[in-house]
Amino acid sequence: MRCRGCDYELWSMKPGACPECGRLWRFDEFRFRPLAAQFLCPHCDHPYAGTDEQGLPTPRAFICVNCTAPIDLDQMRALPAPGTDGSGAMDDEHAWSERARLGYWRAFWRTVGQSMGSPSRIGATLPQRSDFWGAVLFATICGMIGIFFSGSPLFVLFGLASGQMSSGLEYALRAVGTMAGVIVGFVIVGQLLFLLWGCAAHGILRVGGGVRRPIVQSMSTTLYCSGPFIISAVPCCGIYIFPISFVWMAIGMIHAFASLHRISVMRASVAVLTPVLAFVAAIVLAIAGMIWISGNSTWSTNSATFSTQFPPSPTAVASPAQPPADPSAEQSDPQVLPTLGPEAPEK
């Protein structure tokens, strides 16, 4: 049992201020394994086992059966169960932060289980001095497992279809190199997007009412919520399962941020989903703009082609040239009579 603020050992201490960092703590914020810890009466040190779902004594306040003094949980001290050292007593430890003690394999799958099944515990148990690069390592392993097992069968199938599998070692090395490049590229891009997502959510929370933890812990929490991408490891079907993993991760982030910063689920939902909706809107607008530009360009090209093939007809035909008028003729002279035709012969 360690302090959430500085990782100081709290066994055999009464609830109150941590002697290392001064952070106030209570037994209610921890989760013990059933019967893994014993709680001592403050008057006579009579032990009581933690039997409820949180591993604490029931009820919280009672009369000591040994000294008959009234006691309360916040007055008691906790010790590991007899014969144990307390290393396995806690059920709310941040497994990946304890990977050196638990072992990488066990710590990894326990963290994946928390990410998929109880993401609020990720935020609640994240130490104050969280290991950011450890979170990057965890998310990298999840991404590589998902992409490798879902994509490697496709490389083999494409190789068989193209008839190049018979080319031997050279093709095998080329295929392995291509597959490794694809995996590394997707993992790097995914990590960058997750980090931007966590930064954006943290910024929205900070603007909308403040945060309890620094931005590096928001980014670490985002990376620890990438456990659902493990289910994308189904061979040949990972691309179809990816949207499910993404939605699962978003839901997990909401609960993890709510417990990390001790805020409501509604406020955490706004912070987590707003960057996603903004990103989707930007993509839709970009696609619409490309379609509009492409449509205008095609219309202009078709108009120019039509004009070249079918030139417009003249609007008027030029009339034959008329002889210039005699300037000496006076058209307004009343003595000039119009000529009606050849003179008739006299009778």
pLDDT at 58 over 90: no
15-19, 62-66, 86-90: which has the minimum mean pLDDT?
A: 86-90
CA atoms within a 13 Å half-sphere pointing along the CA-CB vector of 40: 15
Domain map (residue ranges) of the chain: 16-92, 106-288
Q: Please give the Cα distance from 106 to 95 (Å, whole number).
A: 8
Is residue 199 within 8 Å of 219, Cβ to Cβ?
yes
Is residue 181 within 8 Å of 224, Cβ to Cβ?
no
43 token code pair? 């008057």
Q: What is the mean pLDDT of the chain?
A: 79
Q: Give pLDDT tens digits for 155-200.
A: 665 655 555 544 555 666 676 677 777 778 888 888 899 999 999 9
Q: What is the mean pLDDT of residues 311-337?
A: 52
44 token code pair? 């006579």
Is residue 37 within 8 Å of 55, Cβ to Cβ?
yes
Q: What is the mean pLDDT of residues 233-243?
A: 78
Q: What is the mean pLDDT of residues 215-244?
A: 86
Across the strands, what pairs with 40? 47, 77
Instruction: Report the pLDDT value the prediction gives residue 347, as an integer from 0 to 100.
Output: 45
Instruction: Report the pLDDT value the prediction gives residue 255, as an integer from 0 to 100.
Output: 92
Residue 303 or 119, more confident: 119
Q: What is the mean pLDDT of residues 243-251?
A: 91
Q: Please give the Cα distance from 166 to 170 (Å, whole number).
A: 10
Q: Please give the Cα distance from 169 to 165 (Å, whole number).
A: 9
Percent residues over pLDDT 70 in the chain: 75
Instruction: Report the pLDDT value the prediction gives residue 221, as an integer from 0 to 100.
Output: 93
Starting at the edge strand found earlier in the chain, the sheet holding 77-80 runs 47-49, 37-40, 77-80
Query: Could you give the residue ranges of the DSSP H alpha helices within the chain?
Result: 99-102, 104-117, 120-125, 132-162, 169-207, 215-224, 238-261, 265-309
Across the strands, what pairs with 151? none
58-72, 98-112, 122-136, 321-335: which has the minimum mean pLDDT?
A: 321-335
Instruction: Report the pLDDT value the prediction gives residue 279, as an integer from 0 to 100.
Output: 86
Is residue 250 within 8 Å of 272, Cβ to Cβ?
yes
Residue 278 or 326, more confident: 278
User: What's the distance, CA 282 to chain centroid?
Assistant: 16
pTM for the full predicted model: 0.64
Q: Please give the Cα distance from 81 to 76 (Å, whole number).
A: 15
